[in-house]
Every structure is written in structure tokens, then in C-alpha cells.
Amino acid sequence: MRALQRRTMGVCCAAAMALAGTSAAAHPDVLNIVSWGGVYTASQMEAYVNPYRNRTDQPIQVDRYTGGLEEIRNQVTANNVKWDVVDMGLSNAVRGCEEGLLMEIDHGKLPAGRDGSSPQEDFLEGMLPDCAVGQNVFSNVVAYDTRDFPDNAPDSVEDFFDTRTYPGDRGMRNNPRGNLELALLADGVEPDRVYEVLSTEDGLDRAFDKLRSIAPSITWWDGAEDPQLLLERNQVSMTTGYNARVQAAIDDRDQPFEIIWDGQTYNYELWTIVKGTPHKQAAMDFVKFASKPDRQAAQANAIAYGPARKSAMSLVKDSMRPKLPTAEKNLQNALRIDHEWWADNQDRLDERFSAFVQEAKEMGGSDTFGVGTPR
């Protein structure tokens, strides 16, 4: 069933404004930083790039990243490294380190916490793998337009799968990661048992069966801006999406959306340095600067992703703290994505999930919607 008919909304053009450059061509003096575009990169420009450039006169170019390790692998293999600093998720950071694509980082040389604590004490657990430095905590959440459910608003992950009580199509990312966990959480599995259950064939069948229960109603999305556009264009009643992107639509574009924090699946975003960069010292200096608690707080004040450092939280505005994935009330029934589990299972589940997506389309689900930028 299609979402209830509403108004036609314009498309936000904010995603285009954040990039400081459009080409990754190397220059002897330019530090090339690679990130995800849109309001996310805009927050990095405000919190990290512009302050660092003003402080050091370091020329910086910011380019768009579409995920994965293929481009980095090609550059390192060809001994032609053009990217210096790359913002990437934890799984790719760990895998890239294991493959020798990323530079190991001495975490003892990072700035201390605001209370003088060591970096190892101040960063959240898991934020300092060998070849990366934690930047923020982002989350995949369920969001809906409040006008679709004026009398009986959904408030749980179970409601996302209840298309009878809460009619309308659903938006979901075209990727098994996060969706399988969401399905089990909605099916009553406690967060601390999700990967135990997923590690069995019966558990995987249970997750896919839960997804199959709404298959005819699913519209698949790829880009981080897509979920908001799906809601704005009245193509779905509820969708999964990245919390800060949804929050930006609420705060910056006055969209009447609501976030359901129940069942959020959160993950880490980190700074990495490509091995073989000709700008090794400049790259490390930038990462050190960007790792300061006040800089991380500045990003959290610009976009609703939680800082990687504990001591940064006291610098986050009171109005922003409740919007962060790391707010205490938002962590109830939350699940941290297990990158090690996915490293062992991603390939085989990608194949099974692709087959399920095709099955869902044959059952009446929509083709992939894709106009936004990757995460």
C-alpha cells in the first residue's frame, strides 16, 4: 500500500554545498581529504577543515567517497596515492589495515581528554583500532512523517513491521547489514543476543522471514539522502535512515518527521590515513587536530552524530544532546553493529540478500530508489 497522499515537496540542495573540491588529483602541497558529501561533509568543514586550514594555511581539497576499499587499493597498488585522509566506517578501517592499505597510527600521540585523561581512556571503546582514530557515532533509525499517523503514532521497531496497524510502504537500505539486526530486534530478540541468533541458520531464516513479512511494501534505497526524499515525496510512510540526515531535515527544512530510537543500530565513523601518502605528516597533523574534544563537540553541534570522545560531550549544546545516538534514553534497546561478525559473513549474506531483494520486487516491492549520496 502506498503512503497517504500528501503535498509535493521540493528537493533539498544542501548536499551540494559542502564539498571544497571536485577532483582528487594530487598536488604537491594539497592535503586531500575524502568524505561522504552532503550535510555530513558540511559539518566536517565547519568543525575540522576550515578551522584547521585557517590555523595552518594548509591547502586542503575535500572529495567525495562512495565507500569500500577498491579505490584505495588501486592507488596503493599502483604506488600513486592521491587520497591522504579518508573518513570511513569501522569495518573498512579494520579490513584496510589488515590488507596493508592504511597507515598505523600511534594513538599515544593524540591529544589528551579535557580532564587530562589519556586518549585510550577518553575515546569510546573500539574507537582506536590500529589504523584509525574515532570521529563520531552514527545510527540507523526508523523515521516517519507525523501527518501519516496523527492519532496513533508508531513508537517501536515492531511498529515498522506492522503494516496493518500502520499502513504504507517502507523504505530500507539495499544492504543486509543493519536490516537483519533490525528484523530480529523487531521479532523480540534482545540486543545482546542478536549476533548469537544470526550465527545460526535458523536465526538467519528468522531474520529473512521477518523481512519477507513486509516484502511487498519495501522500497529499497542506497544513498544517505534518499530516506528523507522518500518521505518528502510521499513514497513511503516509514523508512530506515541515518539519524543525523533525518534530524537535519527536521531542523533545517522544517519537515514533520519523527525518529523512533527503539531498535537503533549504531556504528563508528573514523579517520584513516592511506599508506604511502606523500603528505604523511600533514595528514597526521590534521587527524590530531580533528581528534581534539572541542573539535568533535563542534561537529556534534553541527550534525546529530555523537562524538567519539567522552570528554567532548560536556561541550555539546543542551539542545543537541537529546538528538544524539549516544544520549542515554536513545540507547535503550539499541545495538552496536558488530564489524567482526560482518567481516566473517558479509560476502555470503550479500548474495543471499540480493536474492531476497529480487524476491521482494517480484512480490510487489519497488525498485531501488537512488538519488542521494552514499553515507
The string of pLDDT tens digits covering residues 131-148 is 999 999 999 999 999 999
Domain assignment present for residue 93? The answer is yes
Average the pLDDT over 74-81 and give the result. 98
Q: Which residues are paired to 242 by β-bridges? A: 140
- Residues 169 and 35 grouped into a single domain: no
Last residue of a domain, which of 308, 323, 338? 323
Residue 226 lies in a domain: yes
pTM for the predicted model, two decimal places: 0.86
Q: Is residue 255 located within the same domain as residue 362?
A: yes
Residue 5 has pLDDT above 50, yes or no: no
Q: What confidence category does residue 367 fall into, taking pLDDT thresholds of 50, 70 and 90? A: confident
The answer to whether residue 375 is domain-embedded is no
Do 85 and 160 reside in the same domain of the chain?
A: no
> What's the pLDDT tens digit per position in 277-334?
999 999 999 999 999 999 999 999 999 999 999 999 999 999 999 999 999 999 999 9
| Whether residue 245 sits in one domain with residue 277 | no
303, three cell numbers: 550534525
**Is residue 4 included in any domain, yes or no?**
no
Number of folded domains that form the chain = 2
Domain span at 132? 15-137+268-323
Q: Measured between alpha carbons, how far is 102 from 130 in angstroms, rounded to an integer?
A: 9
Confidence band for 370, pLDDT divided at 50, 70 and 90? low
CATH number, domain at 344? Answer: 3.40.190.10
Question: pLDDT tens-digit profile of 325-361?
Answer: 999 999 999 999 999 999 899 999 999 999 999 999 9
My answer on whether 276 and 317 are in the same domain is: yes
One domain, residues 244 and 360: yes
337 within some domain: yes
Quick one: 66 and 154 in the same domain? no
Assess whether 282 and 300 both reside in one domain.
yes
Here the cell at position 5 is: 497522499
pLDDT of residue 1: 42
Q: Residue 349 has what pLDDT?
A: 97
Q: Is residue 374 part of a domain?
A: no
DSSP of 16-71:
GSS-S-S-----TT-EEEEE--HHHHHHHIIIIIHHHHHHH---EEEEE--SSSHH
Q: Same domain, yes or no, for 118 and 218?
A: no
Q: What is the pLDDT of residue 343?
A: 87
* Number of other CB atoms surrounding residue 370 within 10 Å: 15
> How would you classify the pairing of strands 257-273 and 85-89?
antiparallel
Residues 240 and 341 placed together within one structural domain of the fold: yes
Q: What is the mean pLDDT of the chain?
A: 91
